[in-house]
């Protein structure tokens, strides 16, 4: 998937006013996600996404911070200045687009690094584990 197509999908799913707003949301959500992944997983995920997103993942990746969905959404809210409900909508718009853009195996690798509850944000059923 090309970057402009990624932005267009996020804009449509998140009902952003324009491409600039969608790009800001993408930056915040991808950076916040990267902080929860190991550096290696962030690089692997980035290799299947448009280069601009890979750059966000490489820069912020490696923290492996295991925080729950509520804290993740609070950080997205803080980064975008949106309400928590809007942050959830925005995060889901970005993460479902990521899920559509990467292989099933890569998505499973990402989800195994995240605490339970994240699968729904990626538009996938929750997995027990």
Of 14-18, 24-28, 56-60, 66-70, give the lowest mean pLDDT range. Answer: 56-60
Residue 108 lies inside a defined structural domain of this protein: yes
CB atoms within 10 A of CB 27: 17
Q: Does 90 map to a domain? A: yes
Mean pLDDT, residues 38-48: 92
Q: What's the CATH number where 61 sits?
A: 1.10.490.110
- Does some domain include residue 122? no
**pLDDT tens by residue, 71-85:** 999 999 999 999 999
The pLDDT, as a whole number, for residue 127 is 57
Phi, psi of 122 (to 5 degrees): -90, 5
pLDDT tier at 56, thresholds 50, 70, 90: confident
What are φ and ψ of residue 67, in 5° steps?
-115, 150
Looking at residue 64, the DSSP 8-state letter turns out to be: -
The pLDDT value given to residue 18: 96
Q: What is the pLDDT of residue 54?
A: 85
Pick the closest to residue 25 from 102, 95, 108, 126 (CA basis): 95
Q: 41 lies in a domain?
A: yes
Residues of the chain with pLDDT > 90, as a percent, come to: 78
- Express each pLDDT in 98-120 by its tens digit: 999 999 999 999 999 998 899 99
The dihedral over CA atoms of 106, 73, 54, 98, expressed in degrees to the nearest 10, equals 50
Residue 61 reports pLDDT greater than 80: no
Q: Confirm whether 57 is domain-assigned.
A: yes
Q: How many separate domains does the chain show?
A: 1
pTM for this model (two decimals) = 0.93
Give the range of the structural domain holding residue 92, as residue numbers without chain letter: 3-116
Q: Does the residue 126 lie in any domain? A: no
pLDDT at 128: 44
Distance, in Å, from the CA atom of 39 to the CA atom of 112, rounded to the nearest integer, reads 14
Angstrom distance (rounded) from CA 98 to CA 107? 8
User: Dihedral of CA 114/36/81/71: which sign?
Assistant: positive
User: Does residue 14 form part of some domain?
Assistant: yes
Domain-embedded: residue 98? yes
């Amino acid at each position: 998937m090309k970057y402009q197509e990624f932005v267009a999908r996020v804009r449509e799913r998140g009902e952003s006013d324009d491409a600039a707003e969608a790009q800001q949301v993408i930056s915040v959500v991808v950076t916040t996600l990267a902080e929860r992944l190991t550096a290696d997983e962030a690089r692997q995920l980035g290799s299947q996404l448009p280069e601009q997103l890979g750059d966000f993942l490489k820069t912020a990746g490696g923290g492996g911070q295991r925080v729950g969905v509520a804290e993740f959404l609070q950080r997205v809210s803080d980064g975008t200045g949106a309400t928590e409900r809007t942050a959830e909508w925005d995060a889901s718009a970005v993460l479902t687009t990521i899920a559509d853009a990467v292989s099933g195996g890569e998505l499973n690798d990402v989800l195994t690094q995240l605490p339970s509850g994240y699968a729904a944000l990626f538009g996938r059923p929750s997995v027990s584990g």
